[in-house]
Amino acid sequence: MMRYPWAAGAPQDDASFPEVVVELQELTGDALMTPANSKLRRRLNRFRNDSGGGTISVRAYRGCPPADWADAVGAVVTQWAAERHVRADAYVNMLAHPAEEAHPYVLSVDGKACGFYLFEPIGAGTVGCYANLCVCAGRPGLTEAGLYAALEDLQEHGVQRVNLGGSEQLSLHRYKLKFGGERRPVTANLATLPTETPGTALSPGVRAVAAEPPPW
C-alpha cells in the first residue's frame, strides 16, 4: 500500500493497523464469560460497577428516515469533532445520505445522547462499522459497553460477523482487539501440474499462493 502523509504515527491512515473482525457468536451470551473475552468483560464490569456508570442504552434507528436520527446524533458528532479538533464532514455525510440497509444507533447514558454507531452490510451475515463515536470516552468502560450493546442488537437481527475496520493508532487497535481478532491474508498450498525433467520421473511441485479473501 502506498504511504500518504496523514500523520507521523499513522502513515497509512486507518490502514496503519490491521482490520479487526468480530465473530458475534464468540463474543455475546455465554461466550462473554470465556477467558478469551476477559479484557472486554473487565471493562464492561468496570462501567457497570462504577458509581457514576449510569444507565446505558442504544437505540436503533433501522429503517427510519435520516432526519429522525440525524437530529438525535448531530450534536454528538459536532461535539466529538470539536473535542478532537477535526472536521466532521465525513460523518455529516453519513447522517445525510445513509445506505437504505444501514444499521444506525444512538448511544445514551441516563437519557442523554453521547455516542453514534453506523454499520452497513458488506457480505452475507456481515456488516462493516463505519462510525464508532463517543463523546464521554473518559468514563471507564463506556466505549466498550456502548459498542457491545450495539453488537448484541446486530446479532438479534441476523448479523453474524462485524468488521470493525483498521486503525490509525495503536490505542484504537487495542480497543478493537477486545472484541475480535486481526484479519490476516489467507494462504493455501496448491499442487501445480507435474513437470517432467529428462531422466527423472514426473513429480508435482507445490507452491504457496494467496487464497481468495472472504467477501468481507
Over 90: is that where the pLDDT of 156 sits? Answer: yes
Assign 7 a pLDDT band (cuts: 50, 70, 90). very low
Mean per-residue pLDDT over the chain, rounded: 79
User: Using 50, 70 and 90 to split pLDDT, how confident is the model at 12?
Assistant: very low
Q: What percent of the chain has pLDDT over 90?
A: 37
Please report how the helices 66-84 and 89-96 are oriented relative to each other, as an axis angle in degrees rounded to 10. Answer: 170
Q: Which pLDDT band holds residue 23 (cuts at 50, 70, 90)?
A: very high
Provide the residue ranges of all domains of the chain, joining segments of one domain with +.
15-187
Nearest to 118 by CA among 147, 143, 140, 141: 147
pTM for the model = 0.77
CA–CA separation, 37 and 159 (whole Å): 19
CA–CA distance, 114 with 23 (Å, rounded to integer): 26
Q: Each residue of 61-111: pLDDT tens digit?
A: 887 777 777 777 888 888 888 887 777 877 877 787 778 889 999 999 888
pLDDT of 67 reads 76
- Which residues does residue 103 pair with via DSSP β-bridges, in sequence order? 119
* pLDDT at 205 > cutoff 50: no
DSSP secondary structure string for all residues of 5-56: -S-TT-TTGGGSEEEEEEEGGGTSGGGGGSGGGHHHHHHHHHHHHSTT---E
Q: How far apart are CA 184 and CA 23, in angstroms?
A: 15
CATH architecture of the domain with residue range 15-187? 3-Layer(aba) Sandwich (3.40)
**153 or 112, higher pLDDT:** 153
pLDDT in tens, 173-189: 999 999 999 876 554 44
pLDDT of residue 209: 40
Beta-bridged to residue 22, according to DSSP, are 162
Q: Please tell me the predicted confidence (pLDDT) of residue 183.
A: 76
H-type alpha helices, the chain? 38-49, 66-84, 89-96, 142-156, 170-177
